[in-house]
Amino acid sequence: MQQEVIIAGFGGQGVLFAGQLLAYAAMDAGKEVTWIPSYGPEMRGGTANCTVVISDEEIGSPFVKNPAAVLAMNLPSLDKYEDLVKPGGVLVVNTSMVNRQVERENIKVVSVAANEVAEMAGSKRAVNMVMLGALLANADLLSLEALETALEDHLPERHKKFMPANKAALRQGAAHKAVEVVKS
């Protein structure tokens, strides 16, 4: 089975690291993986997104038209990717940075005030971990434990001091459950 995830936000939110971590966790679990980053020249404050494809079999193309999941970390990301989530897919929205309701039908929506949750977990920079935790709790991708192991194995040494806050943010994000949006 193949699952596609797009993580989008602005530079400085940890968008690319979240995608890398998801890719590492999948690779460590024996899956086939692709990770494609995309960001503007501004870096911090500019737009950033990445696409992660996870599969049990060889991946034919790393490009994704309709992902199974999208993490929208800000309003421009929600505006750009909301319509692309495949029916039945998962859309995780950072309501700390988004001031509108999701309009799509036939998808699962996870609304998380990720900035506030990250701060309560011990680091306001762990928004990406909150969003990943919410994704893993609501999509059949990987276990939370697999992501925590990847965090331990792949976090640069200089950032190991943030491990407790990152793990707390993952767990607190995972406490958020999806609401299926079905309108008749």
> Please, what are the domains in the chain?
2-181 (3.40.920.10)
Cβ burial, residue 18 (10 Å; 0-12/13-18/19+): buried
pLDDT at 148 over 90: yes
What pTM, to 2 d.p., does this model score? 0.93
How is residue 42 annotated by DSSP? T
- Do residues 173 and 137 make contact, with C-beta atoms less than 8 angstroms apart? yes
pLDDT band of 41, cuts 50, 70, 90: low
Q: What is the pLDDT of residue 15?
A: 95
User: Would you say residue 48 has pLDDT above 50?
Assistant: yes
pLDDT band at 45 (very low <50, low <70, confident <90, very high): low
Average pLDDT, the chain: 92
User: Do residues 4 and 52 make contact, with C-beta atoms less than 8 angstroms apart?
Assistant: yes
Give the residue-averaged pLDDT of 151-157. 91
- Please give the pLDDT value at position 138: 96
- Check residue 80 and give its pLDDT: 95
Cα–Cα distance for residue pair 176/154, rounded to 1 Å? 25
